[in-house]
Amino acid sequence: MTILLVCHSVGDTEVLAEVARCLLRRGIEEEICLFTVGQAAKRMLSALPAADTLLNPRVKVHHLSEVIGDEPMRAVENASLEGDLLERLQKYLDGIAISRVLVGAPSQFDAAVPYQIAEYLSPRVQAGAGISITYPFLAEAFFLWKALLPLKSEWFNHYIWFFPFLKAAAIAQRYCADLPIEVTGHPAVDKALESLPDPAKVAATRVDLEVVPGKILLFVSGSKLVKEDHTLVRELLLLLENRDDIELRLGLHPGMNDAQLVAYIDAMSILIAECAEKPIYRAIKITASSAIHERLASLAARGSAIDARYILSKSISGDDSATAAQGVASSALATLGMQRAAQGAPVYCHDESITPFVDSPPYPLFHGGRNIGLFVEYLTKSSAAGATARVPVAAERQSAIEIMADRLTGKLPDDSPVAAMARK
């Protein structure tokens, strides 16, 4: 029998990969199949480090592109499958003896394939099945809110819908009052609360980031949306153009495809170049992980023109960059921002149309353009004060990953609608 984990985007793939590792640690007997239906998930799971516990004979990684082809997969990545392509996917699923399934909610606006898989498999799963939603914000453009939940479909009741925050769960129940929901907390916050940043590693990362000693570091956690991030960075540069005590580092999102990556770098390089006569010009750089550096090198070798003049040559992960910064900003609340907010650092999300689910307080979270000045003021004062305070945590608590692993292996709460269905 096989436990099927369906991955699409960066966030849900990270979560489902951690669930798989947790299941392996528990010694589960079934095989695990990580099935990627998005390019970002495929890239991530095709480049696992040699020491990763997922490189295990009992773990298989399959890709939708192997079922329907590379070009059709790219075409439907932000859409749904129909006709022959849908039949080929269903035939593939029919060929697997699936015992349990966990589907990750995609962050592409109109991506529907993961939900099509969940619907198709719903008659075969009565317990130990779930939909993992890790969005830290409400964007009504997402297929989940815009098109799926309003359907109030019967197959919804075959799954536990895992939401990270009470606010997210409450909004979901406005769309579908009977939706079987469990609030797990967010894996990113769990990770942040395990320990405070290591001062030695933070110091080493700041050296790699070429931050001038004594300066405040603000990390901008990039998204896949060029227009929205361009607006955010422009506003920050205007606000900080004459400041000589703050440095900016802009991280590139790993979920961008090649065309998005090149367009994003070009747009940001032009924006930075426009500040050439201002003090902030010398204090802003673009950071990239090792995976993105490899992709940029490959693109350059294939003849793509990439404006790399502001990209730091050292490979630095977004996680390390955010941890080394005194504050984090993004267009919408992102994973790295949540982690730092939970550790007491100020966090800013710019897009007023996207509502963060995280409650503030206790998180030092600033939302919307009208609060950008307050964010910078708080960042300056908190950096001068030194230590930050973590959000208080209950002594006895399960992590989101552990909760999902429990439910996936049949440990269901007595009051779960899915458990009640299984008992019938």
* 65-115: pLDDT as tens digits: 999 998 888 888 888 999 999 999 999 999 999 999 999 999 888 899 999
Q: Which two tokens stand for residue 336?
A: 């790295």
* 317-353: pLDDT as tens digits: 999 999 999 999 999 888 898 889 888 899 999 988 7
Q: What percent of the chain has pLDDT over 70?
A: 92
Statement: residue 419 has pLDDT above 80: no
d(CA 270, CA 307): 9
Res 394: pLDDT: 53
Statement: residue 202 has pLDDT above 50: yes
Strand, helix or coil at 45?
helix
- In this predicted model, which residue has the larger pLDDT, 381 or 126? 381
Q: Which two tokens stand for residue 86?
A: 């849908």
d(CA 14, CA 336): 13
* Contacts for 215 with CB less than 8 Å, ≥ 6 apart: 245, 246, 247, 283
- In this predicted model, which residue has the larger pLDDT, 416 or 197? 197
Q: Order of strands across the sheet with 31-36?
A: 59-63, 31-36, 2-7, 98-104, 129-132, 160-163, 181-183
* 151-173: pLDDT as tens digits: 899 999 999 999 998 888 988 99
Domain 2-186+398-423, CATH number (from 3.30.230.10, 3.40.50.2000, 3.40.50.300, 3.40.630.30)? 3.40.50.2000
Res 421: pLDDT: 44
Statement: residue 424 has pLDDT above 70: no
Mean pLDDT of the chain: 89
- E strand residue ranges, 346-409: 347-349, 355-356, 365-367
Q: What average pLDDT does this structure show over 296-316?
A: 93
Res 134: pLDDT: 86
CATH class of 197-385: alpha beta
Q: Which two tokens stand for residue 169?
A: 């769960």
Res 415: pLDDT: 53
* 212-269: pLDDT as tens digits: 999 999 999 999 889 999 999 999 999 999 999 999 999 999 989 899 999 999 999 9
Helical segments of 305-371, H only: 318-324, 335-342
d(CA 404, CA 130): 8
10 Å CB burial of residue 198 (0-12, 13-18, 19+) is exposed
Res 372: pLDDT: 95
Q: What average pLDDT does this structure show over 44-49?
A: 91
Q: What is the pTM of this model?
A: 0.86
Res 422: pLDDT: 43
Domain residue spans of the chain:
2-186+398-423, 197-385
- Residue 196 CB neighbour total at 10 angstroms: 14
- In this predicted model, which residue has the larger pLDDT, 350 or 391? 350
Asked if domains 2-186+398-423 and 197-385 share a fold, the reply is: yes
d(CA 81, CA 85): 6
Q: What percent of the chain has pLDDT over 90?
A: 64
How would residue 21 be classed by pLDDT, with cut points 50, 70 and 90? very high
- In this predicted model, which residue has the larger pLDDT, 413 or 318? 318
192 touches 340 (CB < 8 A) = yes
How would residue 412 be classed by pLDDT, with cut points 50, 70 and 90? low
Statement: residue 377 has pLDDT above 90: yes
Comparing 63-67, 122-126, 159-163, 205-209, the range with the smallest average pLDDT is 122-126
Res 388: pLDDT: 56
Q: Which two tokens stand for residue 221?
A: 């956690």
d(CA 263, CA 299): 13
Res 73: pLDDT: 85
- Residue 370 CB neighbour total at 10 angstroms: 9
